[in-house]
C-alpha cells in the first residue's frame, strides 16, 4: 500500500488506495437520531450546556475560534502531549454487546486502569439513564464498546452504542470489532461482507503510528500479530472525511496461532493494496477510535499496550483540570455501581433496574450468600477419615474395589468418578460410593415450562418431598452449600479436593438459568440430579493409597459415633482382606423379553441432514451472527436388560479417560456411562479455577508412523487452531467474570493429547477466584462449557437451538462433585452413553467454523461417537454369545 504520513500534516492528508476487496451487502445508511432533550446536560469546568453540543464546548475550551473547522487529529495529539497529572485510576464504562469476549476486555482494563470498569449491556440503560451517569454525575472518563454478534445496521445488535457514538463527541470511546464497525456505520461508512470470514486467525498489521499504536511495531516481520473474529468489514472506499484509517493487514494471508513465525523475505511476496483489510479508524475531531481486530485475545501481540495507550489518550484528552477530587471521582463511580444486590439505582427514578446475573458487573454477580437469605438449615459437619497406604494395586485396583463394595444389586444409587486414564498425570484421584448414612439424599431437579422448576428430595429413609423453586437449580445448590459449616482442620493431610458433598450432573438445559432465553426442546431426563454423599472411598493413583471418609452432623455426634466407626472399620476390614481376583465383571444376564431392539444406533439426523445443518451454520458465521457454532446430534438405541455396569466397565477398558464417570440414579431408571477426556471447570482449596477446553480432534493412526503424522497434522491445522483459540478466549472471558483482575492466564495453549481412539487439542486456562464469590457463582458464570456452544455463547446457543432437533439433555452438560467446603471438579459430558428408561443415547458433534468442510465435519461427529456406541454394541454382542 502506498501512503504518506507527515507528523506535522493534517490527518486528512493521509491517503490510501483500497481496492474492491469486499462483497457488498444491502445495509441501509444510518438514520439520524434526534438530539436528546435540553434537560440532558453535561458539566465540564462548571459549564452547563446541552449534551448534544457538549463536544463543541470541550473542544472550544482547548482551541481558539476557527480551529474547529477541519481540525486534524495530529493537532489534537500534539496539543494533548503536554505532561499532565497522572491519576491513580481511570473510570471506564464498558458496553457489552452480548459478546463472549467482553470480560477479557474487562480484565485488561481492570489492570491498566487501576479500577474495574462498569459493565452494562447495550440494552440495559435508556438514553436518559446513560446521559445521567456520563454527563450529570460525570461517573466515567471513557467508554469502550465491546465486540458482539450481528451487524451495526441492526439496532438490536448494537443498542445504545449508536447514540453514544453519534452524540457523545466529548468523551474518549474505543470500539472493538462490532464497536469499530458501529463507529464507521454511524458516520456513513458502508459495512459489507468481508472477502472471507476470519475467526480465530491471525494477521500481521501495519499502522500509521498514531497514539493508539504508540510504542507498537508495524508491518510485516515486525511481530505485531493480531487475532481477528469478523465476517463483516468497513468498506474503506466509503469512509467519510471525518474518519481516518489507522491500520490495515499486511496481506490477506493469515498466520499460525502457535508458532512465532519468522518469514523468509525471499519467499514473501510483496502485496498490493488489493490485499489490505482495514483494521483501525479514528474520528478526525473526536477522541473516537475503532479496531477491527481483538486486542484482548490471548494470541494478540501488544494488546495490553493498546489499552494503556487508550488510557493515556483519555488522560491527555481531559487534561485533568476537572475540579473533581480523586475522592469525589471514586464516590461518583461507586454511586454508579451501587454494589450490593446486583442492582442499579438511578437518580429521580423510584424503580430499581435489577440486572440479570449475566448482565451485571462482576462485583454484583449472582445472588450473594448472605446469612439472611441462604443459611436457613445450618449444618455443622464433621469429617472422619482413615488412610490405607500402598494397597490399591495389591487388591486389584479401583475396578475391583468398586465391584466388591458397591457392585451388588446392579450397583443401585452408586457413583464412581473414575480417573481411568492416569498416564501423564492427567488425573490422580478417583472417588466412589453408594447410598450412605443419615445425611445421604438424592436431589432431582426438572425445569418448568416457564421459569424455575421442581426439586424432589429423597432422604436416606426413602421419603420424598417435591417443591417448586422459583429461583431455580443454581440458587438452590448455592443455598445448600452455604448452609454447611465445618472445621478446616478436618481436611488437613488429605491430598485431594472432595471430602463429601454433592455428586451428580448438570444438564445442558440449565443454560436458561445462565442467560439463554429459552430451551427449544424439553429433556426427558431430569435437568439435574445429585447424591449428597456422606460415605465415600478416595483412591490416590499416584501413591496407590486408599482413603475411607465419613461425614456426619456434629450436632448428633454422640448419637452416631458408634455407627460411624462401624462403617469405617467395616470398609477397612473388607479392603485389607480383598483378593485381587475375588471380583470380576458382573455376570451377564441378557434378556430381551421379546422387546424390540435395534441392531445399531439410529441417528436423529442422517448424513445429508447433518451436512445441511453445517452449511446453515456457515451462513450464520458469514453474516456475523457467530464466530463458531458447536453443532451436535443424538444417536439412540433400545436396549434389553443388559447389565449397565458391564457396559460402563467395557467402555472404560476400551476408552479410558481422565474424567470418566459412572452414575446410577435407580429411582429415575437413569444410568450414565461417561468416558470424558475434558475438564469443564475445577476450583481447588487455594481458590484457583481451571478449565481445560478441547477443540480439535483427529483419529489415531493404524501404525506408529501414521499415528505420528496424524498428530502432527492436528497440531498444525489452522482450522483446529482457530477452533481452539476461539474457545480459549471464551473460557478466559468466563473466568474473567469471577476472577481477580490480572489473574486469568493460559499456562498451556493447544497441547495435543492422545487417547485410545483419538488425538485432541487441549488448552488450560486458570485464574484466581475472587474471595467474595461462591463455587456456584463460578459454575454459573461459565455454564454451559464454551467448547459445547461456540462463541459468542448466548447468540450461538439460540442459533443451535433452531437447528438441532431434540434436547441435548445430559450430553453437553457436566458431571462431577461439589465438596461441602465448596471445592469442585466438573467434566464436560462427551463420549458418553446415557441409558434412560430402556433407551441408550449418545450425543456427538463438532465446532463449525468458516474453514469447515461439511463432509469432514460429519466424519468427525461419527468419529467422536465411535467409542461410546461401540461399547454398547460390542458388550451386547458378547452378551448374546454367552
Residue 792 cell numbers, joined = 459468542
**Number of helices (H), then strands (E), in the chain:** 19, 38
Strand 659-665 relative to strand 414-418, pairing:
antiparallel
Q: Are 802 and 520 in contact (CB under 8 A)?
A: yes
Q: What is the DSSP string of 319-360?
A: TT--S--HHHHHHHHHHHH-TTTTEEE-TT--SEEEPPTTTS
Report which of 371, 530, 361, 355 is spatially closest to residue 441, judged by C-alpha positions. Answer: 530
**366 in the Ramachandran plot: left (φ > 0), alpha (ψ -120 to 50) or beta?**
left
Output DSSP code: residue 249.
Answer: E
Burial class of residue 395, CB neighbours in 10 A (0-12, 13-18, 19+): buried
Within 8 A by CB and 6+ apart from 9, the residues are: 72, 74
Strand 352-354 relative to strand 501-506, pairing:
unpaired
Residue 45 cell numbers, joined = 469546568
B/e letters for 770-796, b = 16+ CB within 10 Å, e = fewer, are: beebbbbbbbbbbbbbbbbbbbbbbbb
| Helix or strand run (H / E) with residue 564 | helix 557-576
Residue 73: how many other CB atoms lie within 10 Å: 22
CA distance 141 to 312: 11
In which residue are the cell numbers 468419529 written?
863
177 has catalytic annotation: yes
| Helix or strand run (H / E) with residue 680 | strand 679-683
| From 294, 475, 541, 836, active-site residue | 294
CA distances from 197 to 515, 615, 738 (A): 27, 14, 31
* Chain center to CA of 304: 21
CA distance 862 to 858: 6
Dihedral sign (CA 139, 145, 149, 151)? positive
| From 131, 161, 168, 177, active-site residue | 177
193 has catalytic annotation: no
Burial class of residue 599, CB neighbours in 10 A (0-12, 13-18, 19+): exposed
CA distance 437 to 565: 12
Burial class of residue 577, CB neighbours in 10 A (0-12, 13-18, 19+): exposed
**Half-sphere exposure at residue 238, Cβ-oriented, CA atoms within 13 angstroms:** 20
Report which of 212, 177, 173, 210 is spatially closest to residue 191, judged by C-alpha positions. Answer: 177
Residue 455 cell numbers, joined = 426439586
| From 77, 124, 296, 513, active-site residue | 296
**219 in the Ramachandran plot: left (φ > 0), alpha (ψ -120 to 50) or beta?**
left
CA distance 129 to 134: 9
Dihedral sign (CA 304, 305, 308, 309)? negative
Catalytic residue IDs: 177, 294, 296
Amino acid at each position: 500500500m502506498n501512503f504518506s504520513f507527515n507528523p506535522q500534516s493534517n490527518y486528512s492528508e493521509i491517503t490510501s488506495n483500497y481496492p474492491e476487496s469486499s462483497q457488498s451487502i444491502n445495509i441501509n445508511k444510518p438514520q439520524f437520531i434526534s438530539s436528546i432533550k435540553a434537560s440532558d446536560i453535561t458539566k465540564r469546568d462548571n459549564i452547563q450546556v446541552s449534551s448534544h453540543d457538549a463536544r463543541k464546548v470541550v473542544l472550544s475550551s482547548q482551541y481558539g475560534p476557527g480551529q474547529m473547522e477541519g481540525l486534524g487529529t495530529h493537532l489534537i495529539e500534539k496539543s494533548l502531549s503536554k505532561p499532565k497529572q497522572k491519576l491513580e485510576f481511570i473510570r471506564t464504562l464498558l458496553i457489552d454487546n452480548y459478546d463472549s469476549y467482553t470480560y477479557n476486555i474487562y480484565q485488561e482494563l481492570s489492570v491498566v486502569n487501576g479500577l474495574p470498569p462498569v459493565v452494562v449491556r447495550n440494552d440495559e440503560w435508556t438514553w436518559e439513564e446513560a446521559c445521567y451517569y456520563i454527563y450529570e454525575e460525570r461517573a466515567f472518563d471513557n467508554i469502550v464498546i465491546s465486540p458482539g454478534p450481528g451487524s451495526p445496521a441492526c439496532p438490536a445488535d448494537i443498542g445504545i452504542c449508536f447514540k453514544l457514538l453519534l452524540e457523545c463527541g466529548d468523551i474518549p470511546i474505543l470500539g472493538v470489532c462490532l464497536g469499530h464497525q458501529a463507529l464507521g456505520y454511524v458516520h456513513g461508512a458502508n459495512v459489507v461482507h468481508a472477502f472471507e470470514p476470519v475467526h480465530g486467525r491471525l494477521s500481521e498489521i501495519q499502522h500509521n503510528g498514531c497514539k493508539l499504536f504508540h510504542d507498537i511495531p508495524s508491518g510485516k516481520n515486525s511481530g505485531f500479530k493480531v487475532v481477528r473474529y469478523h465476517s463483516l468489514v468497513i468498506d474503506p472506499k466509503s469512509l467519510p472525511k471525518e474518519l481516518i484509517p489507522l491500520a490495515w493487514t499486511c496481506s490477506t494471508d493469515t498466520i499460525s496461532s502457535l508458532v512465532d513465525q519468522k518469514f523468509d523475505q525471499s519467499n514473501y511476496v510483496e502485496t498490493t493494496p488489493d490485499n489490505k483489510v482495514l483494521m483501525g479508524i479514528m474520528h478526525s475531531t473526536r477522541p473516537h477510535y475503532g479496531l477491527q481486530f481483538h486486542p484482548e485475545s490471548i494470541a494478540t501481540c501488544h494488546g495490553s499496550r493498546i489499552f494503556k495507550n487508550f488510557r493515556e489518550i483519555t488522560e491527555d484528552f481531559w487534561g485533568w483540570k476537572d475540579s473533581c477530587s480523586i475522592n469525589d471521582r471514586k464516590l461518583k463511580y461507586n454511586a454508579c455501581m451501587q454494589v450490593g444486590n446486583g442492582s442499579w439505582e438511578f437518580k429521580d427514578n423510584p424503580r430499581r433496574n435489577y440486572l440479570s446475573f449475566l448482565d451485571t458487573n462482576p462485583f454484583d454477580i449472582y445472588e450473594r450468600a448472605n446469612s439472611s437469605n441462604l443459611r436457613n438449615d445450618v449444618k455443622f459437619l464433621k469429617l472422619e477419615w482413615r488412610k490405607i497406604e500402598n494397597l490399591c494395586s495389591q487388591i486389584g485396583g479401583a475396578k475391583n474395589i468398586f465391584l466388591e463394595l458397591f457392585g451388588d444389586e446392579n450397583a443401585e444409587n452408586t457413583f464412581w468418578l473414575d480417573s481411568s486414564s492416569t498416564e501423564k498425570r492427567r488425573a490422580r484421584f478417583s472417588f466412589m460410593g453408594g447410598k450412605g448414612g443419615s445425611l445421604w439424599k438424592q436431589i432431582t431437579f426438572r425445569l418448568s415450562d416457564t421459569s424455575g422448576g421442581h426439586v424432589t428430595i429423597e432422604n436416606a429413609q426413602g421419603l420424598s418431598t417435591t417443591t417448586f423453586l422459583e429461583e431455580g437449580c443454581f440458587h438452590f445448590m448455592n443455598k445448600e452449600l452455604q448452609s454447611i459449616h465445618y472445621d478446616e482442620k478436618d481436611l488437613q493431610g488429605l491430598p485431594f479436593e472432595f471430602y463429601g458433598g454433592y455428586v451428580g450432573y448438570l444438564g445442558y438445559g440449565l443454560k436458561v438459568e445462565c442467560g439463554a432465553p429459552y430451551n427449544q426442546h424439553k429433556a426427558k431426563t431430569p435437568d439435574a440430579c445429585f447424591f449428597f454423599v456422606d460415605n465415600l472411598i478416595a483412591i490416590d493413583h499416584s501413591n496407590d493409597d486408599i482413603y475411607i471418609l465419613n461425614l456426619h452432623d456434629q450436632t448428633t455426634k454422640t448419637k452416631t459415633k458408634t455407627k460411624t466407626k462401624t462403617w469405617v472399620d467395616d470398609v477397612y476390614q473388607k479392603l485389607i482382606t480383598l483378593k485381587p481376583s475375588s471380583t470380576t465383571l458382573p455376570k451377564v444376564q441378557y434378556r430381551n423379553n421379546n422387546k424390540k431392539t435395534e441392531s445399531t444406533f439410529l441417528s436423529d439426523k442422517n448424513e445429508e441432514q447433518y451436512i445441511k445443518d453445517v452449511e446453515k451454520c456457515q451462513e450464520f458465521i458469514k453474516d456475523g451472527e457467530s464466530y463458531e457454532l458447536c453443532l451436535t446430534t443424538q444417536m439412540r438405541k433400545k436396549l434389553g436388560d443388559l447389565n449397565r455396569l458391564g457396559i460402563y466397565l467395557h467402555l472404560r477398558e476400551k476408552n479410558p479417560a481422565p474424567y470418566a464417570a459412572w452414575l446410577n440414579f435407580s429411582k429415575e431408571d437413569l444410568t450414565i456411562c461417561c468416558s470424558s477426556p475434558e475438564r469443564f471447570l475445577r476450583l481447588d482449596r487455594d481458590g484457583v479455577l481451571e478449565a481445560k477446553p478441547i477443540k480439535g480432534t483427529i483419529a489415531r493412526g493404524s501404525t506408529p508412523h501414521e499415528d505420528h503424522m496424524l498428530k502432527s497434522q492436528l497440531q498444525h491445522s489452522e482450522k483446529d487452531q482457530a477452533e481452539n483459540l476461539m474457545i480459549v478466549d471464551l473460557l478466559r472471558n468466563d473466568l474473567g467474570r469471577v476472577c481477580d483482575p490480572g489473574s486469568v492466564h493460559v499456562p498451556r495453549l493447544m497441547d495435543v493429547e492422545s487417547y485410545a481412539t483419538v488425538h485432541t487439542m487441549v488448552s488450560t486456562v486458570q485464574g484466581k477466584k475472587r474471595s467474595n464469590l461462591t463455587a456456584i457463582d463460578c459454575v454459573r458464570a461459565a455454564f454451559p462449557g464454551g467448547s459445547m456452544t461456540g462463541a459468542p455463547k448466548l447468540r450461538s446457543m439460540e442459533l443451535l437451538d433452531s437447528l438441532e432437533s431434540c434436547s441435548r439433555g445430559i450430553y453437553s452438560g457436566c458431571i462431577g462433585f461439589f465438596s461441602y467446603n465448596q471445592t469442585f471438579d466438573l467434566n464436560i459430558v462427551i463420549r458418553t452413553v446415557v441409558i434412560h428408561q430402556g433407551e441408550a443415547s449418545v450425543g456427538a458433534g463438532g465446532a463449525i467454523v468458516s474453514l469447515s468442510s461439511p463432509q469432514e465435519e460429519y466424519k468427525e461427529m461419527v468419529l467422536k461417537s465411535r467409542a461410546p456406541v461401540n461399547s454398547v454394541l460390542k458388550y451386547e454382542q458378547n452378551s448374546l454369545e454367552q
